[in-house]
A = this chain, B = another copy of it.
Amino acid sequence: MSAPDPAKLSLNTATVRKQWNLRQMIEGCARHGIRGISPWRDQLQVLGLKEAIKLIRAHELTVTGLCRGGFFTAKDWRDDNLRAIEEAHELRAQCLVLVVGGLPAGSKDLASARNQVKEGIAAILPEARKAGVPLAIEPLHPMQAAERACINTLEQALDLCDFFQEGIGVAVDVYHVWWDPKLEQQIKRAGKKRILAYHICDWLAPTRDLVSDRGMMGDGVIDLPRIRSWVEGAGYSGFHEVEIFSELDWWKRDPDEVLRTCKDRHKRVT
């Protein structure tokens, strides 16, 4: 594998969410020559959508995704997802990432939760198509099945895409799928049409927390060049979005150091 194009690096703003507000994140990307950004909606709300759009355009950043829609098993999922689609449209985001939601409170019925997700997507997809916003189902690691997302493999997400056909695809986050024995096969199946986003970080061994102990690329056990070769082999030529939740490490560091490290590792080990 040749080294990835540095121009394809994107920052998922979760990576520095404890240190910076969205204005600082946008300016940080510009300062470090990072050309893509994927903001979270809570940060957008604080800064204001119009101001965020103005800053992002002024710095000519590509919005590689909006995080996030989904949570179809929670209350108010419909209105919240329709607002998210509208925001993604305004931002010209390449996709709206769907973290689909886990078990409803008190429920043990995974099959039913999965049906709710399917029905939820069916309800919002026509609006997303009208707005020109592709929906990216993000299969989350099985350890998140109860609390965050009951779509847990790429195969399962792609079965949903096959059912819905147009306007929907997947976000492939190495953290969630690296372990999957069918990963290469399912990335191939997804192809250029279905892969709407590619997220990178690393799996630490040991991992100390189920949610917020992701590693910087190169610090864990994921064979990032190999997975990139599969994704590119399938036809994906978009951004590589760094998304690191790290309560114990990177959220404690100087955010300029974090961005410098992302750039360096992206070039050297992904």
What residues of chain A have their CB less than 8 Å away from a CB belonging to chain B?
A: 102-103, 107-110, 114, 141-143, 145-147, 150, 152-153, 155-156, 178-181, 203, 205-207, 210, 220-223
Contact = CB atoms under 8 A, between A and B. Distances in A.
A152 B206 CA distance: 17
Of A109, A152, A180, A181, which is in contact with the most chain B CB atoms at under 10 Å from its CB? A181
18 contacts: A102-B205, A107-B221, A109-B223, A110-B179, A114-B181, A141-B142, A141-B143, A142-B142, A142-B180, A145-B178, A146-B205, A146-B220, A146-B221, A152-B179, A152-B181, A155-B181, A156-B181, A207-B210
Contacts of A220: 146
A108 B179 contact: no
User: How many copies of this chain sit in the oligomeric assembly?
Assistant: 2
A153 B141 contact: no
A145 B223 CA distance: 13
A45 to B, nearest CB: 26
A101 to B, nearest CB: 13
Contacts of A103: 205, 221
A210 B221 CA distance: 16
Given A153-B181, A181-B152, A143 B146 contact: no
A268 to B, nearest CB: 15
A113 to B, nearest CB: 10
B147 A205 contact: yes
Contacts of A179: 110, 142, 145-146, 150, 152
Contact of A223 (B102, B110, B150, B156): B110
Nearest to A156: B181
A77 B265 CA distance: 35
The 5 A-B pairs with the shortest beta carbon distances in the complex, nearest first, are A145-B179, A108-B223, A146-B205, A142-B179, A143-B143
Contacts of A102: 205
